[in-house]
Structure 1
Amino acid sequence: MNAPSDISMKTDDVLRVELEVFKREHRDLDDAIRALQATGTADQITLQRLKKKKLLLKDKIAIIEDRLTPDIIA
């Protein structure tokens, strides 16, 4: 078990802080990708690497949001 990345071992406050950090990183990557595409100076490998990192952050964000959002039984 990898304790630092194990979501079940973290408090909600820690998860909220991580969520904000991940969202900021996601926005920054989005801005960087758009800027590189606009200038046409980026190679495809760099863009693919940034997009993959952005997708990984999106997955982390979704996992944390699921953990922080209470289940509502209808």
Structure 2
Amino acid sequence: MFNVSILAYLPFRSWKRSPFVALVAPFVALVAPFVALAAPFVISVAPFVTSAAPFVTSAAPFVVSAAPFVISVAPFVTSVAPFAH
């Protein structure tokens, strides 16, 4: 059981006067509605993300090994891109 007497030692009034809280509070107030709107989407997508995690971790070495090839081909792709229309 939580000891209620410890609440007497916590600085509940002083944190409201903190300059950090004064700086962060407007940003939190601005972002909070968007977080609330995104929450149902995040909750619905979470199972797919967690089920894809093993695939992502197993594919990571192939992605890393392909990186030098992608880097070497990139200049050619960017030089041909204007003519691809």
Q: TM-score range by the shorter chain?
A: under 0.3
Quick one: higher RCO (CA 8 Å, sep 6+), 1 or 2? Answer: 1
Which is helix-richer, 1 or 2? 2
Is the radius of gyration larger for structure 1 or structure 2? 2
